């Protein structure tokens, strides 16, 4: 047996062991949940309540724990320390409106998205600052919560402004109300609440499209799979949407439907390709490695087959699965070429290690992709819906129209072939009378 085949087998074996752990692990009796308590309406410190917190993420994780018979141990975190706490294994899951970001994907693993949001600028005097462009000036003081997603967003959108990072998110609105700031960077949900406390203020934007999800440690494969299954089920039965309406003030848009969640996972994976390209250039490695692509395809086929077995479905057609992953490879290489068109490494940017950080993160996301492929519905999905979902959910910059189209076509072919296969399997199942039925 060749070294190449040995490598494929080792990779498949390790992945199947992980999948088996997901299906066979006992439910934990205690879940350590970290939350910030300073991010309305996702997590709000509320003394006197059983948990000490309230909000959308609090209600959602409490419902999960109640249905699973799990006791929650509540912990608090500060946004600048989130990834340090994750690395130190201080919690099992962070539920606090955590935004998906590439550095967080590298550090741990995300659940299926729980909600959507977008960054906005909240201004106290709309007449003085009527547009986002008017805020990007050294004379403008913009406040933002230190250490979170919005601090990075503010640096990108308002590079010339006088940005002030405030350690406690609760102090951001207070500083704006006292006149110490001209604007603050918030998000669509939080800013709606803040505007009620600051009459006359206005929101400018949104100028990003973000996903909120639960953040887990890299080793939490079983818990991540269980959370994903639960979120998909709650989206399907409408209870997740009802909770968004009651806690966020408006229903939807849905975030945990299988097709949407699958495309979001692809977007998360593709968002790492810029770093992959820079890490390859730093190490003098080639852009294309056919042997590695073969290993990834073999592992993907094994993971999808195992996920289908656990779900009680026939495994999707291997050819369609392989074509879908080949389309992902081509999109990934297109993004890497785009990144390498810039011949200089960005000044001061930390590029994660390819072997120790980026590739393990890609494999973790790949596990979710495999489960979501199997979760795709066998009906009610047409080419237009796939095209629109790919357009809306694949948000990584520099993804070309050709890559987008290729992914949409491969995904639609996978949906159609899987649906036909399931129809054929149902047709070949003996009827209630016991007489066999011929496959269509």
Structure confidence by residue, pLDDT tens digits, 148-191:
899 999 999 999 999 999 998 989 999 999 999 999 999 999 99
Q: In whole angstroms, what is the distance from residue 272 CA to residue 256 CA?
A: 22
In tens digits, the chain (440 residues) has pLDDT values of 344 433 434 443 344 334 434 433 334 589 999 999 999 999 999 999 999 999 999 999 999 999 999 999 999 999 999 999 999 999 999 999 999 999 999 999 999 999 999 999 999 999 999 999 999 999 999 999 999 899 999 999 999 999 999 998 989 999 999 999 999 999 999 999 999 999 999 999 999 999 999 999 999 999 999 999 999 999 999 999 999 999 998 877 899 999 999 999 999 999 999 999 999 999 999 999 899 899 999 999 999 999 999 888 889 999 999 999 999 999 999 999 999 997 666 567 899 999 999 999 999 999 999 999 999 987 888 999 999 999 999 999 999 999 999 999 999 999 999 888 887 777 776 654 443 333 33
Give residue 11's pLDDT.
43
3-state secondary structure the chain: CCHHHHHHHHHHHHHHHHHHHHHHCCCCCEEEEEECCEECCCEEECCCCCCCEECHHHHHHHHHHHHHCCEEEEEECCHHHHHHHHHCCCCCEEEEEEECCHHHHHHEEECCCCEEECEEEEECCCCCCCCCHHHCCCCCEEEEECCCHHHHHHHHHCCCCEEEEECCCHHHHHHHHCCCCCEEEEEHHHHHHHHHHCCCCEEECCCCCEEEEEEEECCCHHHHHHHHHHHHHHHHCCHHHHHHHHHHCCCCCCCCCHHHHHHHHHHHHHCCHHHHHHHHHHHCCCCCCHHHHHHHHHHHHHHHHHHHHHHCCCCCCHHHHHHHHHHHHHHHHHHHHHHHCCCCCCCCCCCCCHHHHHHHHHHHHHHHHHHHHHHCCCCCCCHHHHHHHHHHHCCCCCCCHHHHHHHHHHHHHHHHHHHHHHHHHHHCCCCCCCCCCCCC
Give backbone dihedrals phi and psi of 312, rounded to 5 degrees, phi first.
Answer: 80, 25
Look up residue 366 and give its two tokens. 């790949």
Give residue 12's pLDDT.
39
Give residue 378's pLDDT.
79
C-alpha angle 103/109/115, rounded to 5°?
Answer: 90
Give residue 270's pLDDT.
98
Q: In whole angstroms, what is the distance from residue 138 CA to residue 160 CA?
A: 5
Look up residue 332 and give its two tokens. 């990934």
Sign of CA dihedral 189, 191, 192, 196: positive
Q: In whole angstroms, what is the distance from residue 192 CA to residue 197 CA?
A: 9
Q: In whole angstroms, what is the distance from residue 313 CA to residue 315 CA?
A: 6
Give backbone dihedrals phi and psi of 147, rounded to 5 degrees, phi first.
Answer: 85, -5
Give residue 343's pLDDT.
60
Tens digit of pLDDT for each residue in 371-404? Answer: 999 999 878 889 999 999 999 999 999 999 999 9
What domains, with CATH codes, occur in the chain? 20-116+211-254 (3.40.190.10), 119-204 (3.40.190.10), 259-427 (1.20.59.10)
Q: In whole angstroms, what is the distance from residue 255 CA to residue 361 CA?
A: 22
Give residue 195's pLDDT.
96
Give residue 173's pLDDT.
95
pTM score of the predicted model: 0.89
Give residue 426's pLDDT.
73
Give residue 381's pLDDT.
87
Q: Which residues pair with 31 in a beta bridge?
A: 72
């Amino acid at each position: 047996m060749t070294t190449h085949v040995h490598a494929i087998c080792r990779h498949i074996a390790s992945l199947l062991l992980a999948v088996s752990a997901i299906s066979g692990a006992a439910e934990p009796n205690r879940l350590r949940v970290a939350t910030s308590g300073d991010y309305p309406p996702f997590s709000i410190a509320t003394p006197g309540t059983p948990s000490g917190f309230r909000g959308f993420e609090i209600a959602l994780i409490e419902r999960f724990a109640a249905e699973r018979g799990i006791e929650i141990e509540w912990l608090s975190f500060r946004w600048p320390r989130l990834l340090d706490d994750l690395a130190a294994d201080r919690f099992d899951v962070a539920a606090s409106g955590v935004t998906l970001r590439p550095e967080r994907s590298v550090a741990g693993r995300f659940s299926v998205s729980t909600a959507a949001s977008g960054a906005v600028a909240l201004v106290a005097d709309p007449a003085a600052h009527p547009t986002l462009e008017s805020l990007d000036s050294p004379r403008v003081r913009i406040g933002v919560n230190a250490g979170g997603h919005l601090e990075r967003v503010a640096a990108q959108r308002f590079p010339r402004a006088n940005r002030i990072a405030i350690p406690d998110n609760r102090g951001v609105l207070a500083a704006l109300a006292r006149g110490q700031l001209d604007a603050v960077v918030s998000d669509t949900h939080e800013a709606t609440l803040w505007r009620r406390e600051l009459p006359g203020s206005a929101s400018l934007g949104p100028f990003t499209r973000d996903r909120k999800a639960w953040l887990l440690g890299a080793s939490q494969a079983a818990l991540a799979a269980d959370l994903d299954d639960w979120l998909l089920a709650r989206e399907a039965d409408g209870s997740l949407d009802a909770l968004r309406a009651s806690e966020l003030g408006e229903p939807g848009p849905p975030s945990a439907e299988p097709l949407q969640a699958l495309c979001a996972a692809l977007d998360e994976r593709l968002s790492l390709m810029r770093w992959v390209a820079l890490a390859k250039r730093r190490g003098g490695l080639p852009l294309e490695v056919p042997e590695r692509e073969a290993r990834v395809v073999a592992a993907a086929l094994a993971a999808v087959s195992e996920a289908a077995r656990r779900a009680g479905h026939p495994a999707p057609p291997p050819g369609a699965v392989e074509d879908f992953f080949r389309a992902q490879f081509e999109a990934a290489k297109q993004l890497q070429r785009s990144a390498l068109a810039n011949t200089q490494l960005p000044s001061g940017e930390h590029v994660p290690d390819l072997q120790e950080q980026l590739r393990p993160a890609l494999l973790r996301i790949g596990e979710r992709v495999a489960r979501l492929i199997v979760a795709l519905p066998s009906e009610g999905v047409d080419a237009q819906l796939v095209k629109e979902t790919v357009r809306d959910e694949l948000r990584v910059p520099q993804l070309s129209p050709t890559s987008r189209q290729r992914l949409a076509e491969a995904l639609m072919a996978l949906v159609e072939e899987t649906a036909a296969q399931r129809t054929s399997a149902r047709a070949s199942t003996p009827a209630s009378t016991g007489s066999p039925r011929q496959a269509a």
